[in-house]
Amino acid sequence: MTAAASTPPSRAGTPRYKGANNGLEADCRPGRSASASSVSLDPLSDRATSMLIRRTLCSQQLKDKGRDAQPPIEELLPPLTSHNDVDLQLYAFLAIIMREYVQSWYGKITNDETFVGEIVAIIAHCTRALEQRIKRLDLKSLLLDEIPDLLDRHATAHRTAYQSAARGYLQVDPNEVYHSICPLPALSPVPRADDPTTSALQDENETAYRQLLVQAVLAILLPTEDLENPYLTAIVSQILSELIIGNTVAKKASQP
């Protein structure tokens, strides 16, 4: 881990949360009038987002600091990036994942929120290190050379596969032809309607590939002391591989 990646990014040039957050701090304190509290809160507003983050990720810190204290979120949570506005959205996304998939079972075991804080800290290590690596990328080469070349190869293989199937000389599955041109271990074998086991086997291979990919990334991004905790890294690996890459990217984001 390089020093640049392990050191939290500077936020000196990033504007702090103002306006909506200041209103939130006033709203959360005792003595707020009943008429004001009855006003409906937009669930997509910054105030609602901040309240979700505080309830889910900052409950332990707020208990320690006292009921009347309302410190800014950036003082309670480790920075995920060098931009506060980006962090607010990432915190909200992380809060939903933690509430639905971690606290739903962990809260039945204990009320101690330290475990949640450790998971957030490991994810923060990953996002900061990833941001530093992205800053060192040759974006021109990536956007104008590598990605277009990858898309061109995909389009060429797809066109060849369906043209071969349309000629009618042989009864071929275009998916089989495509995978023979661009073999993808994570998406093999090609599902077949006459063999339901192929679909289940492909799902298993895809899951194993995602987990191996995330474990390799964590080994690069995380410091040694975090990698030595197998329980936390296993949960973080599961969150990244299944909940984020598997459910959000592979299933929902790829739907037409």
Angstrom distance (rounded) from CA 13 to CA 36? 34
How high is the pLDDT of residue 224?
86
Mean pLDDT score of the chain: 78
pLDDT digits (tens, 9 = 90+) for 27-67: 444 444 444 443 566 777 878 888 888 888 887 666 655 55
How high is the pLDDT of residue 29?
42
How high is the pLDDT of residue 162?
86
pLDDT digits (tens, 9 = 90+) for 169-188: 667 788 888 888 888 888 88
pLDDT higher than threshold 60 for residue 151: yes
Average pLDDT over residues 190-211: 88
pTM listed for this prediction? 0.69
The three-state secondary structure class of 124 is helix
Higher pLDDT, 77 or 15: 77
Average pLDDT over residues 104-108: 81
pLDDT higher than threshold 60 for residue 239: yes
Nearest to 98 by CA among 55, 46, 131: 55
Higher pLDDT, 67 or 240: 240
How high is the pLDDT of residue 168?
64
Residue ranges covered by each domain of the chain: 17-30+41-135, 140-183, 189-256
The H or E element spanning position 209 is helix 196-221
Task: Round to the nearest angstrom and report the end-to-end CA distance of the chain.
Answer: 39
Note whether 132 and 5 are within 8 A (CB): yes
pLDDT higher than threshold 90 for residue 148: yes
Is it true that the peptide bond before 189 is cis, omega within 30 degrees of 0? Answer: yes
Higher pLDDT, 251 or 66: 251
How high is the pLDDT of residue 14?
42
pLDDT higher than threshold 60 for residue 203: yes
Percent of all residues in the chain with a pLDDT value above 90, rounded to a whole number: 26
How high is the pLDDT of residue 43?
72
pLDDT higher than threshold 50 for residue 163: yes
pLDDT digits (tens, 9 = 90+) for 221-238: 988 888 888 888 888 998
Rg (CA), the chain: 23
pLDDT higher than threshold 90 for residue 91: yes
pLDDT category of residue 253 using cuts at 50, 70 and 90:
low
pLDDT digits (tens, 9 = 90+) for 2-24: 444 445 555 544 444 443 444 43
How high is the pLDDT of residue 143?
92
- Residue 143 DSSP symbol: I
Average pLDDT over residues 135-161: 92
